[in-house]
Structure 1
Amino acid sequence: MVVDDHPMWRDGVARDLDAAGFHVVATADGVAAARRRATATLPDVVLMDMHLPDGNGADATAQVLAGSPNSCILVLSASAERDDVLDAIKAGASGYLVKSASAEELFDAVRATAAGQAVFTPGLAGLVLGEYRRISAGPATAELDARPTLTDRETEVLRLVAKGLSAKQIATKLTLSHRTVENHVQATLRKLHLANRVELTRYAIEQGL
């Protein structure tokens, strides 16, 4: 589903996605319409603009996930402002792409989002991680102290997953086998009682890793 209040942009993106082999089940021009149509169509991926006539992309993200909790939200916005990025991620978005991205970058991002990966325009992942690292630098809480203990290697892999790297890219970067990286990811998912890479990314962000 494509959510954007500019008809020419919205329809153009939908046409490009259709032409590339994706199935666009709906489009919407605002928060209320996005909620209604997501609830009706249950899209796998929602491309979400941040500036809408009846609210913002963070509001729309929360509304869409309330009606279609298994949807993955990929923000596609002209804005790369810090507050917009952080608000979207806090509302449940899986990733954030700016509209200067090429068509192929968009298609790749949609595929990655559908596969459960977190996708960010270069530089934005660092912004998000840096903000949560700053927040987490305050006094430790009992909840943080009680979090599961990860090995140094698991923590290293988790940080790279949170930056949007694939298992193959992580394997190359750390000089490990693809299977070893996947084993670390699965072990971390089990320890943290998380379901997928998107939840791993959110965990890393929240913990300032």
Structure 2
Amino acid sequence: MSAPSILLADDHATMRAGFRMILEASGIEVVGEAATGVEAVERAAHLAPDVVFMDVQMPDMDGIEATRRILEAGSRASVVIVTTFDRDDYLFAALDAGASGFLLKNAGPEELVQAARIAASGDALLAPEVTRRVIKRYGAAEHMPVTASGEFSAELTEREADVLRLLATAMSNAEIARELYIGEATVKTHVSNILQKTGSRDRVAAVVWAYRNAMA
């Protein structure tokens, strides 16, 4: 996979400069920067990055609304919320808006680079502690045979069930492929089938479904 392209959206120039230095030193292309939510939406449409690192508190439009507008416009970018504040309201609002991950600004350089690569590959950044908070919020303890969208689901195959259980442990596609001794492309196919069968919008919703149906 080629190096991902990144759009940095943060109202602090020093923060953007620091992120740029770290990412570019690892061969990741920073294709643009935005200092406001409005700029982030406009530049995401114009630059078509693979990933957007999005701050929450910005002028003109906050990062949550900017995330929603970027994705509603049809962008294929993965949006990762990068914030100083480890707050549940930010976390859940970001996931509801379609964000693929949630990262704190005190993350180390290696974690930042890894987040960019994981998001660009289509994986969600689901740290176990974040997953637990998501499950608690969405009532995962209710083991009811329904999908995330409330519709009856077709049965998963045995292999799809294996993949879903590993998704629920925060494994990436590459890690799942190694664990199950299958190709990464095969994992992506299984994940796509899982999302369709469970009525899940994304990997986060699929993990919620797994917990609700006592599969994780």
1:15 aligns with 2:18: no
Task: Tell me the equivalent position of 1:107.
Answer: 113
Cα deviation per residue 1:61-81 (whole Å; 9 max; x = unaligned)? 012223452011011111111
1:161 aligns with 2:167: yes
Determine which of 66, 75, 92 is the counterpart of 1:69: 75
- SS at the partner of 2:125? coil
TM-score, normalised to structure 1, is 0.80
Task: Tell me the equivalent position of 2:84.
Answer: 78
From the superposition, tell whether residues 198 and 140 of structure 1 become closer, same or farther in structure 2 (CA, over 3 Å).
closer
Q: Say whether the 8 Å CA contact 1:118–1:198 is kept in structure 2.
A: no
Q: Say whether the 8 Å CA contact 1:46–1:74 is kept in structure 2.
A: yes
From the superposition, tell whether residues 140 and 44 of structure 1 become closer, same or farther in structure 2 (CA, over 3 Å).
closer
Cα deviation per residue 1:154-199 (whole Å; 9 max; x = unaligned)? 3353143144303454477xxx5321897576345336438xx983
Task: Tell me the equivalent position of 1:178.
Answer: 181
Q: Say whether the 8 Å CA contact 2:53–2:81 is kept in structure 1.
A: yes
Give the alignment's Cα RMSD to 1 decimal: 3.2
Aligned counterparts of 1:160 and 1:49: Cα–Cα separation in 2: 29
- SS at the partner of 1:193? helix
Higher helix share: 1
Q: Say whether the 8 Å CA contact 1:133–1:207 is kept in structure 2.
A: no
Determine which of 203, 206, 209 is the counterpart of 1:203: 206
Task: Tell me the equivalent position of 2:125.
Answer: 119
Q: Say whether the 8 Å CA contact 2:135–2:211 is kept in structure 1.
A: yes
Aligned counterparts of 1:78 and 1:188: Cα–Cα separation in 2: 31
- SS at the partner of 2:150? helix
TM-score, normalised to structure 2, is 0.78
